[in-house]
Structure 1
Amino acid sequence: MLFCDKNSHRRKEGPMDIRKRWVRGRDRCSFCGKSADEVRRLVAGPNSFICDSCVVMCKDLLERDEIAEIRAGRRLALVPRRIRAVLDSYVIGHDRAKKALAVAAFNHLKRISYHGTEVEMGKGNVILMGPTGCGKTYLAQVLARAMGVPVALVDATPITRAGYVGEDVESILMRLLQAAGHDIEKAERGIVFLDEADKLARRTGRDRDVGGEGVQQSLLRMLEGSLVAVPRRSSSGEDRVMFDTRQVLFIAGGAFDGLSNIVADRLQSARAGFCGGRQLGVGEGSLHETMPEDLYKFGMIPEFVGRFPVLIAVDALGEEDLARVLAEPRNALLKQYARQFALDDMTLSATPEGLRAIARRALALGTGARGLRTIMEELLLDPGFECRSGSTYLLDEKAVATGSARLVLPKLATG
């Protein structure tokens, strides 16, 4: 298609007309025919020119085509690298876990986008293993935000088998439906994060394991993909909707205390008689080397583990990681508190030594990143109470040692 300017003739131009115009003025846009004097910028190519207006027009056309392809399901807007980039902006460390989650999320998007094609793609549910406070739940929240799908954060501990006091497994989907604004189609493409899933392990010595193996059994059909009758508003409501779980991504998270010992025993048995090395100590088995049989010994039934083909281990955060968590992410704690201080015309800053001192105290608490907010609340209690407009506070090593942010007095002006 040839775009002409308002001064061009109305008749359709032929090859000879274009050639004559090219001879009359070389510095003209090859698309709309405008001269260099009529446009803001003219970009030269090997044998042609294009003006800034036509560049914008071409860009709009390409973006419309891309949006149409995404809506038609022929292309995906997110790729693993983009998902990983979003995770990097909010989560510190866990490089391998973020890469594995990005791939799992991308496969989930492909499955729901190309659902109903000639090849039916299976589900890739995920088990996230790692100590408390390492960021498992937060990873799932940021992942859902990056994918643009609703997420339901469900605690597994109060869930019991049907007929016993507690929450039924259907309450999991009810929460996802609520997170989706009761839009059933949107909910059926969402994510369920089943926190404390390790508490569902088989409990020996009990005749009625209503909250362990029984719950695992009750979850099997939902995890595999089935139609479940879910209350729309409350667990006691009669108004129910059929919820198709085939496209729901389930992420089971837990600390799995003691699993590393099981992994160590297996690795020690495998190396016995071959290398004759030292005995592995307690807890030396890495969760990154976890196999399904290790989870069986932990107390998870094979049918449950088999519905989670992706096993991801998340390491504990060290001192340097916790110091970075305080200052680097988009919603870092230091940035949040600095914003709160700014609303009261106060300034808050921290030194690298101060951040590391806070990180050391958090490590001593043993609660991972959760301990950072507890310490920050303690350090900023007095400044928040005094609320001195125009004041500047500093979190350095001395402030952490004394238990309160230091008031930095402004220097007196000298004449």
Structure 2
Amino acid sequence: AVYNHYKRIQTGIADDVELGKANILLIGPTGCGKTLLAQTLAKILDVPFTIADATTLTEAGYVGEDVENILLALIQNADYDTARAERGIIYIDEIDKIARKSGDNPSITRDVSGEGVQQALLKIIEGTVANVPPQGGRKHPHQDFLRLNTANILFICGGAFEGLEKLIEERAADRRAVGFKGERERSVSDLKWSELMRLVTADDLLKYGLIPEFVGRMPIIVSVDPLDVEMLVQILIEPKNSIVKQYQRLFSLDKVELEFTPEAMQIAAEEALRLRTGARGLRTIIEEVLLDVMYEIPSRKDVTKCIIDADTIRHRSKPILLTQTERPVDWAKEQTA
């Protein structure tokens, strides 16, 4: 979808066939990598990128951020080069939080942070020439504006959409079984979250609370699978800037080697999975475990190695510190000294 989007822009041939823009809706639990996916795409393509939080937006005239401020952030990230900004990517997070409060039934009362925001986003997502206040904030008539054409800006919206699986299950349960290629038919209640999300339709999103016009502007719907323990362990150690490598680098600045045992990383991954915080929760766990020892080590010139084992993660006990003689530091003795 992203390749086709930029192929459409670069072709730039005016003919009788107008190529429409295919914005993307990412559905997946917290910490599964939706934001990172969008960031990585922008980095590979070398285009301006910005992230907006849908929960901070309100429709014009109410306290909160106007949708035009999203465009200002993109312009700023393009160093105020509007031509470059017009080929950028905008990722709008927590899009599920601006669903109608009453699902597919329009509300009688004004829904300032829900349906109203969806309506306000429609024009810029589909493509319009927007007047953007150069300093941000609210518009007023006596100020200059930056004009930005959003027709070629790719919008990627992401959200957890908690409870959406129940709507899919209810709809799919009307049929006795759901068939999968190469598998025997199974009842809907047996399907995993990721399998249910592959069955999502525009009607399910309407029932969840997105308005028809908004769903219509998000033709590509992609579900991102939750991370399992094995994936979380890989995230800890494999990427170039993995969490473990970052902390190992920090410790190396104090000439201390940092080591995590395989069991420690497994338990950290299991804890993040249990807390349902995904990859985002891994840093919190590791930071909590290392906080005290990072404070301690700069004043200890005799320590050469720090080992994080299963007990350190599970019970938040002190890590194993080895001195130059390869003898472990006796924490109990030091605390009584």
CA displacement at 1:363 relative to structure 2 = 1.6
For residues 130 and 412 of structure 1, the distance between their equivalents in structure 2, rounded to whole angstroms, comes to 46
Identical counterparts, % of pairs: 45
Q: In structure 1, the residue corresponding to 2:175 is in which secondary structure?
A: helix
CA 1:126–1:273: 2 relative to 1, 3 Å: closer
Unaligned runs of 5+ in 2: 328-337
Supply the AA of the counterpart residue of 1:312: V
Counterpart AA for 1:179: N
For 1:151 and 1:194, locate their aligned partners in 2 and report how far apart those are by CA, in whole Å: 11
Aligned equivalent of 2:237, options 298, 320, 327: 327
Q: Secondary structure of 1:294's partner?
A: helix
1:281 CA drift (Å): 6.7
Measured after TM superposition, the shift of residue 282 of structure 1 is: 9.8
Alignment check: 8 A CA contact 1:258 1:283 kept: no
Preserved contact between residue 159 and residue 215 of structure 1 (Cα < 8 Å) = yes
| Contact 2:172–2:188 (Cα < 8 Å) also in 1 | no
Residue identity opposite 1:396 in structure 2: D
Partner of 2:332 in structure 1? Answer: none
1:401 aligns with 2:299: no
- Distance in 1, matches of 2:216 and 2:231, equals 33
Select which of 290, 307, 316 maps to 1:380: 290
Aligned pairs for 1:104-123 within 5 A? 104-118=1-15, 119-123=17-21
Q: Distance in 2 between matches of 1:138 and 1:336?
A: 17
Distance 1:277 1:395, change over 3 A: closer
**AA at the equivalent of 1:300:** L
The structural deviation recorded for 1:272 is: 6.8
Distance 1:283 1:299 in 2: 23
- Contact kept in structure 2, 1:225 and 1:244, CA below 8 Å: yes
Q: Aligned-pair distance for 1:365?
A: 1.9
- Report what 1:217 is aligned to: 119
Q: Does 1:258 align with 2:163?
A: yes
Q: Is the aligned partner of 1:318 residue 2:216?
A: no
Measured against aligned partners, the alpha-carbon deviations of 1:98-126 in whole angstroms (never above 9, x if no partner) come to xxxxxx22122212211244343221100
Q: What is the alpha-carbon distance in structure 2 between the residues aligned to residue 126 and residue 312 of structure 1?
A: 7
Q: Is the 8 A contact 2:25 2:218 kept in 1?
A: yes
Within 2, Cα distance between the matches of 1:225 and 1:366?
36
Match of 1:179 among 64, 77, 99: 77
| Equivalences, count | 310
Highest RCO, 1 vs 2 (Cα 8 Å, sep ≥ 6): 2
Give yes or no for contact 2:66–2:138 (8 Å, CA) kept in 1: no
Amino acid at match of 1:153: I
**TM-score between the two structures when normalised by the length of structure 1:** 0.70
Distance 1:272 1:409 in 2: 63
Q: Secondary structure at the match of 1:252?
A: strand
The 1:344/1:155 distance shift into structure 2, 3 A limit, reads same
Mapped partners of 2:27, 2:130: distance in 1: 28
**5+ residue gaps in structure 1?**
1-103
Please provide the CA RMSD for this pair: 2.4
2:145 alignment partner in structure 1: 240
Q: Kindly tell me: are residues 294 and 392 of structure 1, through their superposed partners in 2, closer, same or farther at Cα, counting changes over 3 Å? A: same
Deviations 1:317-349 (A, max 9, x none): 111111111000111000000011111111112
Please name the residue that 1:268 is paired with. Answer: 173
Per-residue CA deviations over 1:220-257 (Å, capped at 9, x if unaligned) read: 11111111111122224722011100110000000001
